[in-house]
Amino acid sequence: MRKSILYIGLFLSVFGISCSGGDSDPEPKAQPKKNPEPTSLVFPEQNSECTEGTNITETHSTILFKWNTSANTGSYELTVKNLISEEVLTYTTSTNEYSVDLLRGVPYSWFITSISKFNDGGTATSATWKFYNAGVGIVNYAPFPATAVAPADNSSIPSSITVTLEWSGSDVDNDIASYDVYFGTTQTPLLLSSGVTVTTLNNVSIVPTTTYYWYVVTKDQQGNSSTSEIFEFNVN
């Protein structure tokens, strides 16, 4: 009788171990969230004259912006900037294209921000492209406003007695003739150098603990010109 009880107890013990082991499934591993990847732009093309829009009036046309889809992205934010008035327009879409009504004969820049599909605040930003929205009867376009390369806009640089100013210029017609550079310690800087045919100015005098402002006027061979934003940097 005692042997039977011992066998039954041993059986229940083994059975209990077997049952408890079968019910404890490992917890599933959480899938890591991946940041969205930056998209690549398609249309309007970089430094182009946009002639594929739908003309609405003599002053406005509709442009269909296009870009490639990007991984881990739930939506896209299109940012379009009028390079003359500096007005910025933003639009959100779940597709990789979006139509916008724009002024004709005006230069614009645009870029796309990819927004994470995981709703965790992750984003990625594409390159920025410039284009001219084609105007009525325009056969030669003014240059795009120059952009600061160095010092970067709103940056700080180490203490020094000179600085090299560098900028980037572009033109649909590829006929840039020269640049006028304005530079100083006020937000209305004075002319530093005119008729510059390169995109750098070396050995520009500066002093420490001072904020400087500068901008560039780009001129083409047809007499057209464009004025950049006013750039700013601080010397530590």
Mean pLDDT of 11-26: 48
In a domain, 182, yes or no: yes
pLDDT tens column, 160-205: 999 999 999 999 999 999 999 999 999 999 999 999 999 999 999 9
Residues 67 and 110 in one domain: yes
Residues 213 and 180 in one domain: yes
CB 53 within 8 Å of CB 134: yes
The token pair at 149 is 């390369």
pLDDT tens column, 195-209: 999 999 999 999 999
pLDDT tens column, 47-86: 998 877 899 999 999 999 999 999 999 999 999 999 999 9
For residues 163 and 211, what is the distance between their CA atoms, to the nearest angstrom? Answer: 13
In a domain, 206, yes or no: yes
Residue listed under structure tokens 């946009």: 50
| Residue 136 binned pLDDT confidence (cut-offs 50, 70, 90) | confident
The token pair at 136 is 């009525």
- The distance in angstroms from the start CA to the end CA of the chain is 95
According to DSSP, the residues that pair with 150 across neighbouring strands are 166
CB 123 within 8 Å of CB 114: yes
Looking at the chain, the whole-number percentage of residues with pLDDT higher than 70 is: 86
| Residue 12 binned pLDDT confidence (cut-offs 50, 70, 90) | very low
CA 53 from centre of chain: 23
| Residue 119 binned pLDDT confidence (cut-offs 50, 70, 90) | confident
Residues 48 and 109 in one domain: yes
Helix (H, G, I), strand (E, B) or coil at 82: strand
Last residue in a domain, options 84, 107, 133 = 133
Mean pLDDT of 90-94: 98
Last residue in a domain, options 133, 159, 185 = 133
Residues 47 and 127 in one domain: yes
CB 32 within 8 Å of CB 54: no
Residues 129 and 150 in one domain: no
Residues 184 and 210 in one domain: yes
Residues 56 and 99 in one domain: yes
Looking at every residue in the chain, the average pLDDT score rounds to: 89
For residues 69 and 97, what is the distance between their CA atoms, to the nearest angstrom? Answer: 9
DSSP 168: E
Residues 186 and 210 in one domain: yes
Last residue in a domain, options 103, 133, 163 = 133
In a domain, 6, yes or no: no
- Greater confidence (152 vs 28) lies with 152
Residues 56 and 129 in one domain: yes
For residues 31 and 28, what is the distance between their CA atoms, to the nearest angstrom? Answer: 9
Mean pLDDT of 40-51: 92
Number of residues in the chain: 236
In a domain, 228, yes or no: yes
Q: Which domain holds residue 197?
A: 144-235
The domain spanning residue 223 has which CATH number? 2.60.40.10
For residues 225 and 217, what is the distance between their CA atoms, to the nearest angstrom? Answer: 7
Number of domains comprising the chain:
2
In a domain, 10, yes or no: no
pLDDT of residue 32: 65
pLDDT at 8 over 70: no
pLDDT of residue 138: 75
Strands (E), the chain: 41-43, 48-50, 54-55, 60-67, 73-82, 88-93, 97-103, 106-116, 123-125, 129-133, 144-150, 155-157, 162-170, 176-184, 190-196, 200-205, 210-220, 225-227, 231-235
For residues 196 and 226, what is the distance between their CA atoms, to the nearest angstrom? Answer: 15
CA pseudo-torsion sign 93, 44, 100, 224: positive
In a domain, 118, yes or no: yes
Residue 191, φ and ψ in degrees, nearest 5 = -65, 125
In a domain, 190, yes or no: yes
Residues 204 and 123 in one domain: no
Residues 183 and 214 in one domain: yes
pLDDT of residue 191: 98
Residues 49 and 107 in one domain: yes
For residues 194 and 181, what is the distance between their CA atoms, to the nearest angstrom? Answer: 6
In a domain, 195, yes or no: yes
